[in-house]
């Protein structure tokens, strides 16, 4: 299987300006490899750096050291050193991120929030809306809500809109931060199916998942992380 994402010696720390510029290391020497069709679930206690690693992989956090290699257009791009424009191109075509929380422009209908991802790729408006509608229905967002801005939705409904937005473009690499945290049992099963379908088409997935039943259903292997102070 093709390596889609690899980190080598990845390091990240934060500067606590309210503590006199104290530097707090969170990641050090992280070596991770994820292949096409594989789901790797980050495992470890709170404070081990799982969310920091996921955000670093997406380029939201700039690495202090090491490499974050992402396969994009057939070549490996180092997210740790790439220019912002290159990172945006990788996100647009290759690297998807589904957070626990939906952040969208206010007063935009849920259907448009999801379809916009395909429209940005040049997909026909009718086809994009049809795909968005089907995904929202699959995730139990009824048609009567499709024209309503998701800011008015419940937490679980917002997370399902976020999942639809994250999965609609079928990106080769997906980063999932607690994708089922706010969902009921039926919707958790839908998301498990979506993740398995993504793996079947060759997507490489890195996930944080504290629900052990979901984790066991999607993980090909665990990547165990230890809090920095314990690893030292």
Q: Tens of pLDDT along 203-227?
A: 999 999 999 999 999 999 999 999 8
Residue 168 confidence (pLDDT) above 80: yes
Per-residue confidence (pLDDT) for residue 103, from 0 to 100: 80
Per-residue confidence (pLDDT) for residue 1, from 0 to 100: 82
Per-residue confidence (pLDDT) for residue 232, from 0 to 100: 41
Per-residue confidence (pLDDT) for residue 66, from 0 to 100: 97
Mean pLDDT for all residues in the chain: 93
Dist CA 75 CA 95 (whole Å): 14
Count of Cβ atoms closer than 10 Å to residue 168 Cβ? 22
- Band the pLDDT of 194: cuts 50, 70, 90: very high
Per-residue confidence (pLDDT) for residue 18, from 0 to 100: 67
Residue 230 confidence (pLDDT) above 80: no
- Band the pLDDT of 122: cuts 50, 70, 90: very high
Q: What is the pTM of this model?
A: 0.93
Dist CA 87 CA 64 (whole Å): 17
* Mean pLDDT value of segment 143-162: 94
Residue 149 DSSP one-character state: -
* Mean pLDDT value of segment 189-212: 96
* Mean pLDDT value of segment 144-154: 94
**Fold (CATH) for 3-94+171-231:** Rossmann fold (3.40.50)
* Mean pLDDT value of segment 179-185: 92
CA separation (Å) from 149 to 81, 108, 118, 141, 167? 37, 5, 18, 12, 19
Domain spans of the chain? 3-94+171-231, 105-169
- Band the pLDDT of 231: cuts 50, 70, 90: very low
Per-residue confidence (pLDDT) for residue 229, from 0 to 100: 66
- Ranges 7-16, 30-39, 129-138: which has the least confidence: 7-16
Residue 154 confidence (pLDDT) above 80: yes
Dist CA 99 CA 166 (whole Å): 9
H or E segment and range at residue 191: helix 185-200
Closest CA to 209 of 163, 176, 171: 176
**pLDDT tens-place string over residues 18-70:** 667 788 889 999 999 999 999 999 999 988 999 999 999 999 999 999 999 99
């Amino acid at each position: 299987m093709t390596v889609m994402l690899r980190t080598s010696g990845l390091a990240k720390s934060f500067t606590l300006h309210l503590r006199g510029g104290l530097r707090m290391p969170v990641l050090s020497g992280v070596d991770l490899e994820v292949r096409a069709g594989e789901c790797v679930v980050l495992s470890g206690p709170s404070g081990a750096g799982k969310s920091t690693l996921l955000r670093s992989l997406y380029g939201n956090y700039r690495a202090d050291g090491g490499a974050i290699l992402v396969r994009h257009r057939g070549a490996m791009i180092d997210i740790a050193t790439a220019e912002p424009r290159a990172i945006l191109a990788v996100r647009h075509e290759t690297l998807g991120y589904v957070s626990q929380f939906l952040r969208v422009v206010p007063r935009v209908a849920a259907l448009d929030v999801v379809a916009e991802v395909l429209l940005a790729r040049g997909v026909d408006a009718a086809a994009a809306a049809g795909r968005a509608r089907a995904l929202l229905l699959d995730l139990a967002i009824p048609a009567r809500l499709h024209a309503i801005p998701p800011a008015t939705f419940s937490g679980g409904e917002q997370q399902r809109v976020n999942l639809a937005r994250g999965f609609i473009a079928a990106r080769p690499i997906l980063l999932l931060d607690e994708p089922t945290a706010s969902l009921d049992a039926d919707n958790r099963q839908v998301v498990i199916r979506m993740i398995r379908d993504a793996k079947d088409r060759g997507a490489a997935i890195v996930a944080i998942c504290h629900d052990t039943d979901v984790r066991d259903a999607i993980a090909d292997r665990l990547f165990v992380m230890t809090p920095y102070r314990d690893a030292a």
